[in-house]
Structure 1
Amino acid sequence: MEKRVYNAGIDFLRIFAMFMIVVTHVLGKGGIRDSVSGTVDAHFLQTWIIQASVYVAVNCYALISGYVGFRSHFKYSKLINLWLQVAFYTIGLTLFFLLLGKPIEAQDWIGAFFPVITGQYWYVTAYFGLMLTMPFFNIALPRMGLSDLGKMIVTGFVVFSLLPVLLDTSVSEFSLSKGFSMTWLILLYIVGAFLARIDIKRLNKPFWLIGLYIFS
């Protein structure tokens, strides 16, 4: 059995990614982005520079999943645990609003008991889809040649990301939903595995780190 080595950098990245998620929610849900829209001034530029800087937060989690998880033995019980954890909160919140006298319909209960397939939380739904594919990727990724793995990554990003942007097209079958889709998380999972395969710690130079940040 392969010995696991604690990586403090991974934990730091998780913490920092959570901080970035808080920042992006403050900008969005807090109404800051809306308050500066319409006029390109110093406040507008500051807001969107910060937003662009923290937009990679979710990408970091997907990369970490691939980096640390592609050699692990996947347990299907994780799917059940994820579903039950999310359902616990959705059912609890639905009951809470019911007690407050809010109108709760049958569709609300369906969403509460089946939060994953009804898209109650986009990341949970996308990540659940990624988890379904993990057993197959965890068999293939450690065995693929690095050259073939690199070609698969480049092809995936060109077809699913680069070309739709350059051609200004929106094809639902190829849609990455601005980084909010299962397909995007799968691509990043593969990239994370690739980085682990090439041992990115040997490439611990500012150039590579900055390039990875921009790429993600």
Structure 2
Amino acid sequence: MITLHHSPETRSMRILWLLKELEAPFQVIPHPFDKSLRSPEYLTISPAGRVPAIEMDGESYHESGAITEILCERYPERGLGRLIGDLDRPDWLVWLHFAETITQHAAALTQQHVALRDPATRSPIVTRLEAARLAKCYAAIEGRLSTPVENRDYLLTSGFSAADIAVGQAVYLGRFFARLDEFPETAKWYQRITERPAFAEALPLPGTGLYAQDFYPAVEG
């Protein structure tokens, strides 16, 4: 049995989605996204006090990219990883870890718009800059999906994979701060992957997520 330590609308959402796609046996231990993640007990599982973390076979693992690789190798029959020797493995690794590039900008904007409750403490420069950086990430995805190859429905030519899960969840976070209006291929891809039942099952229950509104403009007011 795999145990996932999870907080809604954080990086652990991508591991929850992945576990559901893998149809792996698992249980979830929910955590509020607060200082309780720095408790001595939790720090023995995730030394930086972050989610996700998983416990499996008497060991604990943290970092969502690493966890994704570990789980895909554990369940190769599900076809969500690309193992050593697979022609698509280099691209799989690149896009899997590109999710973190997107997420760092979404995390900076989450801090500005959500964690800093007093609007006077927020930086208009930071919010505009990070929203623009998110758009550049979308442009990179758009370029990939616009490559003229047959059946470019997903990030890899070989089909849906954990790379789509990781990047898709990062875009889910990014869309609270930067829209996909100017990126039609990315918008179609995002709709395609988020129509999967496992994505819907990984969404937070009403009232349990980090975000109080659907969109946070870079310039408020």
TM-score bucket of the superposed structures, by smaller chain: under 0.3
Structure 1 or 2: larger helix share?
Answer: 1
> Which of 1 and 2 has greater Rg?
1
Structure 1 or 2: larger strand share?
Answer: 2
TM-score by length of 2: 0.26
TM-score by length of 1: 0.26
